[in-house]
Amino acid sequence: MTIKLFRHAAIYTPLTGAEPAPMPRVAEWRDGAMLVSDGRVVAAGEGAEVERAARHLRPDVEVDLEGAAAVPGFVDPHTHACFAERREAEFSMRLAGTPYLDILRAGGGILSSVRSVRAASEDALFRAAAGWLAETMRYGTTTVEVKSGYGLDTGEELRMLRVIDRLGRETPQTVVPTFMGAHAVPEWYNSDSYTRLVCDEMLPAVAEQGTARFCDVFCEREVFSVPQAREMLSRAAELGLGLKIHADEVNDLGGAALAGELHAVSAEHLLAASDEGLDAMAKGGVIAVLLPATAYSLRKPFARARDMIERGVTVALATDLNPGSCFCQSMPFVISLAIMCMGLTPDEALAGATLNAARAIGMEAQVGSLEPGKLADFVVLDGSTPATLAYASGSRPVRSVWKMGERIA
């Protein structure tokens, strides 16, 4: 058993509280300390108190954090990080004015990533994905959700989910796998026949393989309609998967309301979500996973985070890391957009990128805050408060990254 004492840290952490509030309270201990045993938090709080408690435990290692802010490791609850190649040429087309969905309609976009993923060996795909994730780690991400969805047939989707599972076993980050077979409609299918394939063949096979925790569906005009998404997600729920929806990203189709109706764990994007949709989410206890770097990269207005919070919706933040709509590996960039462009306070943005993000992937018992019993996953910032994430936006205000009490970056 290794016991470590981290001293002289300005600790900022959301607190779970008796009732899960949409916006948890953030505790701060300006001269704080944290005691860690075998990778888990034993105590975090006011320095003198924690050090008193530590005395009779005789820590094996003491680390002086020299007054820097320490926050929970970032939890990125929405990525498509399992891809083989970047799509920079498509980005140039978007800059020149071609809309994202037009590129997809012409057989590019997601479908071009499908071609490169299918062409990559399982090892090559693993190495590529591990490379994208290693960069997220340098920016403080210690837990990450990764979706499949560039396979689009049963065997290829199962292969992607195996690669994602291997990322969790062979890299330092905690990885939560999501099945997203309904990411686009591949050649040889229309959205109806593909919906049948997902319900009748893919979902049972995914459940049988047992590696996915969630099922996500891209509910969008010319992709999957609300009734199709309802059918696939209902089948996924029967098979024991948690539910997520890419909802109202480009057009308001009613995806947010569907998430409320199905009591999905989360609805994601929501750039075009209506008031009724948001109210349905609040009522159904659905977490809004907001992806401001995607709005930035698509040059769209940001999601209405303040309206969501006022309506009682729990808000989480994620990168959406993918080769098309948003090649962003930095949770600090996402946090700075949330603060500067969406009106979140630094405390709200911190909670959105940690505890609320952990809730959005069912990981709140393990990660997302520095509270006793949880993994000692934390980021030491290059500054004395979490506001430094926005103050120093454009740079990497991260001094070190720790996973279960061990330095990983």
Q: Does 153 bind ligand NIG (CB under 6 A)?
A: no
CB of 338 to ligand NIG, least distance (A): 17
Q: Does 320 bind Fe ion (CB under 5 A)?
A: yes
CB of 325 to ligand NIG, least distance (A): 3
Using the structure block, give the residue that is written with the tokens 């309270």: 25
Q: Does 249 bind ligand NIG (CB under 6 A)?
A: yes
CB of 263 to ligand NIG, least distance (A): 22
Q: Does 80 bind ligand NIG (CB under 6 A)?
A: yes
Cα Rg of the chain (Å, integer): 21
Alpha carbon distance 245, 259 (integer Å): 7
Which C-beta is closer to ligand NIG: that of 184 or that of 199?
A: 184
Which C-beta is closer to ligand NIG: that of 298 or that of 380?
A: 298
218 binds, among ligand NIG, Fe ion, none (CB under 5 to 8 A by kind): ligand NIG
314 binds, among Fe ion, ligand NIG, none (CB under 5 to 8 A by kind): none
142 binds, among Fe ion, ligand NIG, none (CB under 5 to 8 A by kind): none
Kindly identify the residues of this chain, within the stretch 289-348, that bind ligand NIG according to CB under 6 A.
294, 320, 322-325
Which C-beta is closer to ligand NIG: that of 101 or that of 282?
A: 101
Q: Does 142 bind ligand NIG (CB under 6 A)?
A: no
Residue 199 is classified by DSSP as I
Using the structure block, give the residue that is written with the tokens 């939890």: 75
CB of 246 to Fe ion, least distance (A): 6
386 binds, among Fe ion, ligand NIG, none (CB under 5 to 8 A by kind): none
Alpha carbon distance 85, 79 (integer Å): 15
| Residue 252 falls in which region: left (phi positive, over 0), alpha (psi -120 to 50) or beta | beta
Alpha carbon distance 276, 317 (integer Å): 22
Element (H, E) at 40: strand 40-46
Kindly identify the residues of this chain, within the stretch 182-241, that bind ligand NIG according to CB under 6 A.
218
Ordered DSSP codes for 77-126 = -------S---HHHHHHHHTT--HHHHHHTT-THHHHHHHHHHS-HHHHH
Nearest-10 Cα torsion for 402, 293, 135, 361: 50
How many other C-beta atoms lie within 10 A of the C-beta of residue 2?
12
Q: Does 76 bind Fe ion (CB under 5 A)?
A: no
Provide the binding-site residues for ligand NIG, judged by CB under 6 A.
80, 109-110, 113, 218, 246, 249, 294, 320, 322-325
Interface residues with Fe ion (CB under 5 A)?
320
